[in-house]
Copies of this chain bind each other. A is one copy, B any other.
Amino acid sequence: MTVRLGIVGVGVMGADHARTIASQVAGAAIHSIYDANQERARQIADEVGAADVAGDPRRLIDDPQVDAVLIASPDATHKELALACVAARKPVLCEKPLAPTSPECLELIEAELAAGRRFIQVGYMRRYDPSYVAMKNHLAAGQFGKPLMFHCVHRNVAAPPWFDGGMAIANSAVHEFDIARWLLAGELTAISIFRPANISGQSPGAPVFLVLDSAGGSLVTIEVFNDAAYGYDVRGELVCEKGTVELQRPVHGVVNHALLQGTAYPLDWRPRFQDAYRLQAQGWIEGIRTGKPNGASAWDGYAATRVAEAGLRSLKSGLREEISAVPVPKLYG
């Protein structure tokens, strides 16, 4: 059985998803594409062999020849589109964030609760990245004992012009919030934020340093530095009682040149997480075919957004902010 997909939004992210699915994912076929820019939609449809260009996202979602939907349109549209997918009872892979605020995320959760089933997967693709998976496997194997600290680093070459300081938390660190919850299998319960004083906090890519508590008692630290200049770099070290595991980014060669022995950093996240995106798409299709979802749920999207909101409060207050516990509905248990 081939899963027929509709894709809403083929900007940079959506087009990447479309190409990955068309060229490297088993069991899926792209049937229809929608983009506000219809010419763009047509062009990507041709490129990936999609039969149809939809004139309206709702029509795409309701198209009986579309089995499942991938949403990569602007953040502000995510909620309405995802609600439409739930209403149509179609599996949906929605790019992060699920919705800009936690109350909006809750609406989606309520829709799923009402429907009595999970339809939504949020695009926290790191859960499929081989280095995070290896880390989780090491932890599960038990050889290192209990996790005590999880140190994360998230660096971009340069913050885009439309970035502001809060986005380091709401757009960048959310990835770490999600992966820490997944890795440590528990909620984050408090957050404190620090900033170096020798760089203007107005500078959109200035570093922030976060310290969080997790429900299981581990400490999580996250550096986000969106103007790190030297390369796109995501690091993580899980410190356990008897040893530690560090992420390793994909490296295909070591170069000896000009008095340096070196390995390359990519300019942005795409080469770093290319495999994660592919495996996420494959895992999503697999989940649809087997009826067993394996990615981040709407609840996960909600939880990460709640941590980000506490982070933004801490950024303002300069204080440690608690993240109150919320009972998890059975559907997501």
A286 to B19 alpha-carbon distance, docked (Å): 14
Residues in B whose Cβ lies below 8 Å from that of A261 = 231, 262-265
B246 touching A256, Cβ below 8 Å = yes
If A219-B195, A230-B244 touch, whether A149 touches B209 (CB-CB below 8 Å) is yes
Partner of A282 from B24, B207, B233 at Cβ < 8 Å: B24
A248 to B2 alpha-carbon distance, docked (Å): 36
Q: Does A106 contact B (CB under 8 A)?
A: no
Q: Which residue of B lies closest to A286 (CB)?
A: B23
Q: Which residue of B lies closest to A49 (CB)?
A: B1
A217 touching B198, Cβ below 8 Å = yes
A207 touching B148, Cβ below 8 Å = yes
- Which listed segment binds B: A31-39, A94-102, A128-136? A128-136
Partner of A230 from B151, B242, B248 at Cβ < 8 Å: B242
Chain A residue total in the interface (Cβ 8 A)? 73
- CB of A156, distance to nearest CB on chain B (Å): 13
- CB of A211, distance to nearest CB on chain B (Å): 5
Interface of chain A, helix or strand or loop or mixed? mixed
Q: Which residue of B lies closest to A255 (CB)?
A: B245
Residues in B whose Cβ lies below 8 Å from that of A134 = 252-253
* A140-160 interface code vs B (CB 8 A; 1 in, 0 out): 000110101101000000000
Query: Which of A241, A244, A248, A250 has the most B CB atoms < 10 Å from its CB?
Result: A244
Partner of A242 from B213, B229, B263 at Cβ < 8 Å: B229
If A26-B23, A149-B196, A195-B219 touch, whether A254 touches B246 (CB-CB below 8 Å) is yes
A sample of 19 inter-chain contacts (CB < 8 A) reads A2-B2, A24-B26, A130-B252, A144-B257, A148-B198, A149-B196, A195-B219, A198-B218, A227-B241, A228-B239, A229-B241, A229-B242, A230-B257, A231-B260, A243-B257, A244-B255, A246-B256, A261-B262, A262-B262
Q: Which 10 A-B pairs have the closest CB atoms?
A: A198-B217, A262-B262, A243-B257, A197-B217, A134-B252, A260-B262, A246-B254, A134-B253, A196-B219, A230-B243
- List residues of chain A with CB under 8 Å of any chain B CB: 2, 21-26, 28, 130-131, 133-135, 138, 143-144, 146, 148-149, 151, 192, 194-199, 207, 209, 211, 213, 216-219, 221, 223, 225, 227-231, 233, 239, 241-248, 250-267, 282, 286
